[in-house]
Chain A
Amino acid sequence: MGDFLRRIRLPLLFAGLLLLTLVLMLQDRGGPGRVGGQADPRSDSPRSESPGSESPGSESLGSALPNSIFEIAAPLQKALASPVEWLGETWANYVALVDLRVENDILQARIAQIEEENLQFREALVASGHLDGIARMREGFEVPLLPAQVVGQDVSSWFQAILMDRGRRSEVLSGMPVVSDHGLVGVVTATSIHASRAMLLLDRRSAADAIVQRSRARGIVRGTGSGELEFVFMVRGDDVLPGDIVITSGFGGVYPKGVRIGQVTEVDTDRAELLHKARVTPAVDFGHLEQVFVMLRRAPTMDLLFAGDGDLPDPKGEEEAGSVSDPVTPAETGSASDPVAP
């Protein structure tokens, strides 16, 4: 019997480990708060990224292990990322500055033009008496932004995520939007005490409800896994042109309204289908992300999504969110759960 067991020890270990990984995968895929494999095309939610757990007491093996790993990895990566960053900056600041003078002249001219336009818009707003109202609305929507340093990038070729040096101790929770000074970056999907992981907008599982700033045409911006985004579910006949700026619509309740996503570079109008697609170049340079900001307010839909991990919404925070901006109106909820195009 002992001899037999010794002989089958290795196959048993192999089978046991395979089974364990399979169980972890199934748990990670089907755990509480998962959205499922396919995106709800009208909601701007992470599609199936593991949210991780938020309270240490509720951590399961499936989330405690990775959380501990990136809790240890984050400070190490932060230390290692500094020389990499320095090298990158040296290259960008001293070596790759060909044609800077010409570019500078062009940009200065452009700034002058934009300032002039801005002035005219302000004048128009003051004249129409809307400026005060807009200022009040902005105050209502303003949320505290927590600066975080990007200490690591996803090491797999297929997925797009970043590791940040802020975690639950800094009140970062899964489901909080992440932005940079250029625009939308993604959403926090897992947190440990001092670190967190965010899924980038570029990831295939990302989707954000968006509108074209100029024409207000509405659609969904999806990650393609490459450096570009896809603007889909655009109703045929909507006015979208190359060069248009795409911003978040605020529907779906994950991302706040008005955050810049990118610029339309190409509109696919040859298709015979009812819906169109457009390519969008992200406003954020995801290849050189160094500092990002976590918006320290989670939408009620995200509270529901991540509540299964024991991270129930703070009643006070919920009340505040409801009274301040209440981003999910009944109409929006209806649209967010509607899997069919408008």
Chain B
Amino acid sequence: MRKAIVLLLLGLLALVIEGALATGMSVRFIPQASLLAAVAAGLVLRPGEGLVVAALLGLGADALSGTLLGQQAMLRILEVVATRGIAAQLDLRNGFPLVFFVFAIALVDAALLVTGSWFFLGLSFHGSEVGGVLVRAVVTGLCAPAVSSLAQGLVERLDESQARREMRLETGRPAL
């Protein structure tokens, strides 16, 4: 539970940083924080916790952007499920498979967001925007190993401190 809360808070902080960065630079060069955090949650958290964290991260992203409330939340939930499904077949903890997977899922995410916006809001999108989406997917994919390692390290550290507490080692008494 503690791991989920920490990951959620870090994910939300990343969203805030993403929004602040977007004031000074093009969005296409900024990685999708909530997607990366959702993938990390799918990899390092228990399935139920991962789903809840992803949903909350998506709601956070919805609140800070112009999407319908729930639109990105739904995508994050689906991404956690996809991450767990693929992680059962491939080692997604590091390296090229993770980069490629996140790149692909960022593209699928964009396609689903467009489809949802068309379905619910009747909005159409131009083909000229595909370039920007591709660039952002590449940037997001390249950031994925670092984010995954960070989440892995964080979870291990939290596990370790939990295990140490549970062992209750008596360190104050002399050995002999």
Q: Which residues of A contact B (CB under 8 A)?
A: 9-10, 13-14, 17-18, 20-29, 36-38, 47-50, 62-63, 65-67, 69-70, 73, 76-77, 80-81, 84-85, 87-88, 150-161, 163, 189, 197, 199, 203-205, 224-226, 287-290
Contacts and interface: CB of A to CB of B under 8 A. Distances in A.
Given A25-B71, A49-B66, A155 B51 contact: no
Nearest to B136: A157
B6 interface: no
A210 to B, nearest CB: 21
Nearest to A78: B20
Contact of A14 (B30, B62, B63, B77): B77
Contacts of A29: 68, 120-121
Contact of A50 (B12, B26, B34, B68): B68
Contacts of B22: 152-155
Given A80-B17, A287-B26, A154 B126 contact: no
Interface of B: 12-13, 15-28, 30, 32-34, 47-48, 51-52, 55, 58-74, 77, 81, 110, 113-114, 116-117, 120-126, 128-129, 132-133, 136
A151 B66 contact: no
Contacts of A14: 51, 77, 81
Contact of A157 (B13, B28, B62): B28
B51 A17 contact: yes
Given A25-B120, A37-B122, A156-B65, A73 B70 contact: no
Contacts of B58: 21
Contacts of A18: 74, 77
Contacts, number: 188
B123 A37 contact: yes
Contact of A70 (B63, B73, B122, B125): B63
B11 to A, nearest CB: 12
Contact of A158 (B18, B62, B113, B122): B113
Given A48-B121, A154-B27, A161-B66, A17 B55 contact: yes
Contacts of B20: 76-77, 80-81, 84, 151-152
A81 B23 contact: yes
Nearest to B117: A158
Nearest to B28: A157
A163 B63 CA distance: 10
B133 A21 contact: no
A154 B110 CA distance: 15
B58 to A, nearest CB: 7
A282 B124 CA distance: 21
B19 A38 contact: no
B125 A158 contact: yes
Nearest to B26: A287
Contacts of A150: 23
B73 A21 contact: yes
A28 B68 contact: yes
Contacts of A161: 65-66
A162 to B, nearest CB: 8
Contacts of A81: 20, 23-24
Contacts of A49: 66
A67 B59 CA distance: 11
Contacts of B60: 69, 73
A64 to B, nearest CB: 11
A21 B16 contact: no
Contact of A66 (B34, B69, B121): B69
Nearest to A160: B66
A21 B70 contact: yes
Given A66-B62, A84-B24, A157 B121 contact: no
Contacts of B59: 24, 65-66, 69
A73 B123 contact: no
A23 to B, nearest CB: 7
Can you list the 3 inter-chain pairs with the closest CB atoms, starting with the nearest?
A: A37-B122, A159-B66, A66-B63
20 contacts: A13-B51, A14-B77, A14-B81, A17-B77, A18-B74, A28-B68, A28-B69, A37-B123, A48-B121, A66-B59, A69-B60, A88-B24, A150-B23, A152-B19, A155-B64, A157-B136, A158-B110, A159-B66, A163-B64, A287-B26
Contacts of B52: 13, 17
Nearest to A204: B123
A69 B9 CA distance: 12
Contact of A28 (B21, B51, B70, B81): B70
Contacts of A25: 68-71, 74, 116, 120
A53 B45 CA distance: 35
A243 to B, nearest CB: 24
B51 A226 contact: no
Contact of B27 (A24, A27, A155, A163): A155
